[in-house]
Amino acid sequence: MLSKERETNTYVIDVEEGAETARLLEQDLLYNRAQGGLLPEELDVSSMTHLLDIGCGPGGWALEVAYTYRHLGVVGIDINPVMVNYAFAQARSRGLENISFEVMDARKPLEFPDTSFDLINARFIAGFMDQTAWPVLLGDCLRLLKPGGYIRLTEMETATSNSPALEKLHDYLHQALKKQKRSFSVDGRSIGVGYMLGKLLREAGFRNITKTSFFNDSSYGAEQHYSTSKDVELLYPLIKPYFIRSGIVDERTFDETYAAMVEEVWRPQHVAISFGLTTCAQKALD
Ligand SMILES: C[S@@+](CC[C@H](N)C(=O)[O-])C[C@H]1O[C@@H](n2cnc3c(N)ncnc32)[C@H](O)[C@@H]1O
């Protein structure tokens, strides 16, 4: 019998996979570092009081923000109760009283009053969004922000690498995302979401749009080689059912490609770099 979350969720990974919690905890540390910190230095956090993190996962980023900026009230939302329970337990064990987490579906109107937040953050949510969901969510974020409030969206492209099998797995992902109109890629050769966020924000009515790029070098010998290689090892088996359901690849071909990838990413000659983009924008003051 499927749980309610499992029936309705459109995320590319089964929301009840425990391995996904562990993977996200590692991923969180990895990208906090790659992004050069929790929030941009130029953002005046001292005048803010309320922050929302959409698709917060096990809460790593939100918990660090609540710990660093004790004057802020932080709320993290995620559709997955396993993530939310984990995040709550972390908040309790760290004695953080300025943070809470709620199970909420970000593809539905968010259950907060208008003008509740100074800052809304959403990192790596492309896996549950699609071409029609983005404008709806951004419109809702505009409603939830106070005048002059900020939104901060971060998405990445898959790595470019010299591993033929990793490239093939990325290719399956790009094709599956395009097939389901989750991506804005015109040819199914990229994740194709990050590059569109500025345009989507402008069309939703946001102003003062700024973009900051970052990268993750996961080549053999680089600092992030181990954690990123472990991340792709964990990630692709979790996405496998989505690929099979999408009809992009058959099970045997997937298994062979995955086995080759696991071998290739640990070779001393392995080179892989991925790029990401954080797009910030503001709600008008009037
Ligand atoms: C790739 S993770 C990103 C986690 C976190 N933001 C980070 O930066 O590490 C995507 C998260 O979105 C959650 N999710 C999936 N579908 C969702 C939905 N419809 N509404 C809210 N969260 C959702 C997943 O449970 C997962 O925790």
Q: Is position 210 within any domain?
A: yes
Q: Is position 183 within any domain?
A: no
57 within ligand 1 shell (Cβ under 6 A): yes
Q: Is position 65 within any domain?
A: yes
In the reported structure, the alpha carbon of residue 55 is separated from the centroid of ligand 1 by a whole-number distance in angstroms of 4
Alpha carbons 120 and 53: distance in angstroms, whole number: 6
Alpha carbons 274 and 157: distance in angstroms, whole number: 6
26 within ligand 1 shell (Cβ under 6 A): no
Range of the domain at 9: 4-160+188-218+276-282
Q: Is position 237 within any domain?
A: no
pLDDT score, position 2: 36
What CATH number did the domain enclosing 196 receive? 3.40.50.150
- Give the pLDDT means over successive 10-residue stretches in the chain (286 positions): 45 65 77 86 94 96 96 97 93 96 98 98 96 98 98 97 98 95 96 98 98 96 93 93 94 98 98 97 93
Inter-residue contact 153 to 137 (CB < 8 Å): no
Q: Is position 171 within any domain?
A: no
pLDDT score, position 106: 98
Considering its fold, how many domains does the chain have in total? 1
278 within ligand 1 shell (Cβ under 6 A): no
258 within ligand 1 shell (Cβ under 6 A): no
pLDDT score, position 16: 58
pLDDT score, position 6: 44
Q: Is position 128 within any domain?
A: yes
Inter-residue contact 57 to 83 (CB < 8 Å): yes
Alpha carbons 27 and 13: distance in angstroms, whole number: 15
Q: Whose CA is nearest to atom 13 of ligand 1?
A: 55
Q: Is position 67 within any domain?
A: yes
Q: Whose CA is nearest to atom 1 of ligand 1?
A: 124
pLDDT score, position 13: 65
276 within ligand 1 shell (Cβ under 6 A): no
pLDDT score, position 286: 76
Q: Is position 265 within any domain?
A: no
